[in-house]
Structure 1
Amino acid sequence: MEFKTFCTGTRTTYREVRLEHELINKFYEIRNPLQEKILSIPDGCVNIWFLWKDGKCQARLIGSALMGKPSLVSNHEQCFGIKFNAGVVPEVFLNDIGHIINNNCPVNKYKDISFMEKEVETMETFEQKLIYFLERDSVFGKNRVNSITKFIVEDVAEKMGNLTVSELADMLGYSQHYTNQVFRRNLGMPIKQYSGIVRIQQAIYGIEMKDRDFIYENLGYYDQSHFIREFKRYTLLTPKSYDKEDWSFV
């Protein structure tokens, strides 16, 4: 299942190319010439955004949002994005993961990739940018997230976010404190927070498929009001307003 990063309106255009890659999940592009409101949705992933306004490009390293919020992309005419796989933090960024969650920082602070901002600025097509980054993917280094974190990410995905830290700790044979500490050091957030993100992503899938039974039978929400409250916290929308106002999750 593909985790969604944005909620966009009808007057923005979106395209993506998904990859089978050790680090990179997909490349994507948003064109937003009217600078309409775009929402950031928690996806639990690290992204890089190249943002254009008035012909100038700025590159930002983006940590996962922790709740729904207006996106920085709203203030720009175009965004080319690189989304890394769930549970992946390229080694070039690993030391900063705790600072970028729910935040962003300029890419030019990282000397190994700072040159990209200016080189990408004059590229006009999505295909040019795609080829450029595929030819330079080694600059991001390897995924240095450890095996404990990898196991947790995979198990949380399999259980659709509907599990507890104590269950994970029992499976791993470690204390809850140690298990959570390792995960937070690697991905910048506690396991409970990450599980909540995975669960709302599954709920988004259910909303898109118009399958409310899937949501209530599989995701552990106590009742309808609990689900609506959580959905609004993570997306700034209610399920009803999502349907009525013609938003799209991308």
Structure 2
Amino acid sequence: MKIHNYIPSLALQPYIDGFRIIESEELIVNRVLPGIVPVLALRLKGRISSENESLPGFLVSGLRKTPRLIQYHAGTANLLILFKEGGINAFFDIPAHEFFNESIPLHNLVDITCLEDQLGEAQDYHQCIAIAEDFLTARIKNTATDPLILTATKAIKQQQGQLSITQLASSLYISQDAFEKRFRKVIGSSPKQFATLVRMQAIIKKPGITDLTHLALEAGYFDQAHFNKAFKQYTGLTPSSFFKAPPQW
């Protein structure tokens, strides 16, 4: 498997975190963990499936609670477009929370005829990136951001998901109901769910995990049982099994 990362153009950098091309020369099954931003996937060649069902060539995946097993078949290449928090709203008319736990075919949202034709004729990956950038740049509709919600996501990430959502809303001088509605619309999940995803990402990125009890306490869980349950929902595995075989990306 080969992974190539690309930096987006200046026009897209406010909304796109990066481009990633994943190549697979042989069949690979990967456990894809829930992320904290939506992803637009464009299949450049080959076949990709999940639970033995082929996935659409172009689709948008929102934030999720649980992992997925993705099969990259031999001779496959996939272009992943990683949005920034709130960035997806610049390109699509529907609120971000409608993508939650969903993978929506791109053709259900926009006309992709030209995009499919152009990618099919592309000579190399740099040309694929240029085509994707032109497609996205032409679709920029809503450049407005929500500074309050972006401040909230920054605070959640700084605290690695370990903070009170009620206190966070209070510190931003907004009622919790209004805060949660705005957060779901911009980010694609509730603040609590986003904080859980951030917390789990912080846990699995810690190097040299040996003491799971200490890890649970450090992550803000007061007993091993609650930690194990939350961890298994996020990864699909127990902590001990997961750290023996981490995901490939």
TM-score interval for Structure 1 and Structure 2 normalised by the shorter chain: 0.7 to 0.9
Q: Distance in 2 between matches of 1:50 and 1:91?
A: 18
What is the aligned partner in structure 2 of residue 4 from structure 1?
A: none
Tell me if structure 1 keeps the 8 A contact 2:40–2:58.
Answer: yes
User: Which residue identity lines up with residue 3 of structure 2 in the other structure?
Assistant: Y
- The alpha-carbon deviation at position 75 of structure 1 amounts to 6.1
What is the aligned partner in structure 2 of residue 7 from structure 1?
A: none
What is the aligned partner in structure 1 of residue 51 from structure 2?
A: none
Aligned to 2:19, the other structure's residue is in SS state strand
Q: Distance in 2 between matches of 1:124 and 1:237?
A: 40
Q: 1:39 to 1:122 in 2, by over 3 A?
A: farther
Identity of aligned residues (%): 20
Tell me if structure 2 keeps the 8 A contact 1:156–1:162.
Answer: yes
Aligned length: 234
TM-score (norm 2): 0.80
What is the aligned partner in structure 2 of residue 25 from structure 1?
A: 17
1:65-96, Cα deviation, whole Å (9 max, x unpaired): 2211223x546832111001123223222414
What is the aligned partner in structure 1 of residue 52 from structure 2?
A: none
What is the aligned partner in structure 2 of residue 242 from structure 1?
A: 242
User: Which residue identity lines up with residue 146 of structure 1 in the other structure?
Assistant: D
User: Which residue identity lines up with residue 81 of structure 2 in the other structure?
Assistant: I
Tell me if structure 1 keeps the 8 A contact 2:32–2:247.
Answer: no
User: Which residue identity lines up with residue 79 of structure 2 in the other structure?
Assistant: F
Tell me if structure 2 keeps the 8 A contact 1:94–1:186.
Answer: no
Tell me if structure 2 keeps the 8 A contact 1:123–1:129.
Answer: yes
What is the aligned partner in structure 2 of residue 188 from structure 1?
A: 188
Farther-moved stretch of structure 1 (116-125 vs 59-68): 116-125
What is the aligned partner in structure 2 of residue 91 from structure 1?
A: 90
Q: Distance in 2 between matches of 1:61 and 1:238?
A: 28
1:147-178, Cα deviation, whole Å (9 max, x unpaired): 22212111111111111221111101122111
Q: Distance in 2 between matches of 1:112 and 1:79?
A: 20
User: Which residue identity lines up with residue 219 of structure 1 in the other structure?
Assistant: A
Q: How does 1:97-112 map to 2 (within 5 A)?
A: 97-111=96-110
Tell me if structure 2 keeps the 8 A contact 1:50–1:117.
Answer: no
User: Which residue identity lines up with residue 138 of structure 1 in the other structure?
Assistant: T
Farther-moved stretch of structure 1 (82-91 vs 109-118): 109-118
Q: Distance in 1 between matches of 2:98 and 2:226?
A: 30
Tell me if structure 1 keeps the 8 A contact 2:39–2:81.
Answer: yes
